[in-house]
Amino acid sequence: MGTDDSFADKISFELEKNAIVSRDCKHVGMLSIKTANRSVEDALKMPDPVDLYHGLLNEGEVACLFADSNAGKSIFAVQMGDHISRYRKVLYVDCELSEKQFQLRYTSKELGFRYVFSDNFYRAEIDPEHIGVQNYEEAIIKDIEEAAVQTDSKIVIIDNLTYLCNSSEKGDVAGLFMMKLIALKKKHSLTLLIISHTPKRNLSNPISQNDLAGSKKLYNFFDNVFAIGQSAKDKRIKFVKQVKVRASEYIYDSDNVIIYEITNDGGYVHFLHKGYGKESEHLRDKSEEDEALTRSNIRSLHRDGKSIREIADLVNLSKTTVHRIIAQEKKKEADSLEEVVLDLDDIPEGVAVPCRDAVSGRGGVPVGEGVPGGDVGQAGQTGQCGTVPGVAGQYETMAAVAERRDPFVFDISENLDFL
């Protein structure tokens, strides 16, 4: 009888404690509000997240792995899934390879060998006959949710992001998409690893968050981001670098990247661990071509209306360096326009003058044609040149040329106080 009383007392105590917790937690619409101390106390009762793969992926995260084309993203993702499936069920959503391509990657005809995965490792691919045009993104997320539930998989790897979000470069679309993924994670206590790509990048620069394709909102929503880089020493050598860490330790930064070699061991293509090193040891030495590409990117971004701060973030340079490059390009532009005007003195009458249209590749106007003699050509007026006193024919004045300078040009005296 005493035992029953003790058990009843324990139940009563637990109910009373839960009632206190319920009173301490307020709900306002989508928000659940507690004191900071209550949040810490409640979280202490939860298990700590489990390291699923050598410090690169933790349980309960929405993580991202990105790399350039042919860098081995899918190979590394399958390798991670294969490792985790030894003790957890894993769903790998393969939007890259067909079933036959996947089979060929993990078999060896010469040796008559095929790699055997764990039965906890599930692979799904999109059936083209069931692809719907309307509400595609919502439908594919719902199908991934159902597949995870049916296979009882708490780890989901999606290869790759492009097939889930076609407009990932648009901030509002990317933000809404990531909120859907986070809601899916919380609903079923999932761990999500999303594979993405990077646009063409300068291999002499360290990998950064700006190399992740799509809107920056994608990066902001991820708990964990890591990337695969190509070594300049050997095409077979890759390195893995952590770019963002939210909950765990920042282990694999630029001074301690993981070095791998892609190898085929009897039909099993995988990343073979070779050790650790500095990212700088695997970057390409900067060349004149790299410098020209950087300058071209800066010019393009400036023309697109990006601020110096934004450009500096995108090209991994300081604001001062970006400002200096823009000023140098401005001076080169001004000098080239001045040379065009001065060269007009040597053009015989009747020869096409390289005015605005000629310089831009749209043809010139023969000397003696254009605006009536004695009038000055209007800046921006197609095919017209101003008269320079004492010179035969009609030419464009330097003032008119200067007025029509490329919008890229700005005052060289601009300072950095506003940055």
Pairwise CA distance, residues 103 & 123, whole Å:
12
> Do residues 276 and 261 touch, judged by C-beta distance below 8 A?
no
Q: Are residues 73 and 148 in the same domain?
A: yes
pLDDT of res. 339:
67
Q: Are residues 255 and 348 in the same domain?
A: no
Among 233, 248, 282, residue at a domain's last position: 282
Q: Are residues 28 and 112 in the same domain?
A: no
User: Scanning the structure block, which residue is given the tokens 């079923």?
Assistant: 188
103 contact partners, CB below 8 Å, separation of at least 6: 114
Q: Are residues 92 and 129 in the same domain?
A: yes
CATH number at residue 148: 3.40.50.300
Q: Are residues 195 and 241 in the same domain?
A: yes
Q: Are residues 111 and 73 in the same domain?
A: yes
- With 0-12 / 13-18 / 19 or more C-beta atoms within 10 angstroms meaning exposed / middle / buried, residue 187 is exposed
Pairwise CA distance, residues 208 & 216, whole Å:
12
pLDDT of res. 269:
93
pLDDT of res. 376:
44
Lookup: tokens for 200: 């063409």
Q: Is the peptide bond before 160 cis (omega within 30 degrees of 0)?
A: yes
Residue 409 domain-assigned (yes or no): no
Residue 417 domain-assigned (yes or no): no
Q: What are phi and psi of 305, to 5 degrees?
A: 90, 10
Number of domains, the chain:
3
Angle of CA points 75, 170, 325, to nearest 5°: 90
Residue 212 domain-assigned (yes or no): yes
Residue count of the chain, please give it: 419
pLDDT by residue, tens only, the chain of 419 residues: 454 555 455 545 554 544 444 557 888 888 889 999 999 999 899 888 899 999 999 999 999 999 988 899 999 999 999 999 999 999 999 998 999 999 999 998 888 889 999 999 999 998 877 776 677 788 888 999 999 999 999 999 999 887 777 666 666 777 788 888 899 999 999 999 999 988 767 778 899 888 887 767 778 889 999 999 999 888 889 999 999 998 788 899 999 999 999 998 878 899 999 999 999 999 987 766 777 778 888 888 888 888 888 787 777 777 888 888 888 888 887 777 766 666 655 666 655 555 544 444 444 444 444 444 444 444 444 444 444 444 444 444 444 544 454 444 444 444 444 44
pLDDT of res. 288:
64
Give the distance, in angstroms, between the CA of residue 28 and the centroid of all CA atoms in the same chain. 35
Q: Are residues 273 and 296 in the same domain?
A: no
Q: Are residues 274 and 393 in the same domain?
A: no
What does the DSSP 8-state code read for residue 345?
A: G
Residue 331 domain-assigned (yes or no): yes
Angle of CA points 93, 98, 103, to nearest 5°: 100
Q: By C-alpha distance, which of 120, 123, 108 is closest to 263?
A: 108
Residue 147 domain-assigned (yes or no): yes
Phi/psi-derived region of residue 112, left when phi > 0, alpha when psi is between -120 and 50, beta in every other case: left
Residue 416 domain-assigned (yes or no): no
Q: Are residues 269 and 126 in the same domain?
A: yes
Among 265, 282, 299, residue at a domain's last position: 282
Q: Are residues 79 and 108 in the same domain?
A: yes
What does the DSSP 8-state code read for residue 71?
A: S
Say what the pTM is: 0.65
Residue 51 domain-assigned (yes or no): no
Residue 83 domain-assigned (yes or no): yes
Q: Are residues 238 and 269 in the same domain?
A: yes
Pairwise CA distance, residues 183 & 311, whole Å:
33
237-245 and 257-265 strand pairing:
antiparallel
Q: Are residues 254 and 378 in the same domain?
A: no
Among 231, 260, 282, residue at a domain's last position: 282
15 contact partners, CB below 8 Å, separation of at least 6: none
What residues make up the domain containing 322? 288-403
- List the beta bridge partners of residue 392: none
pLDDT of res. 361:
43
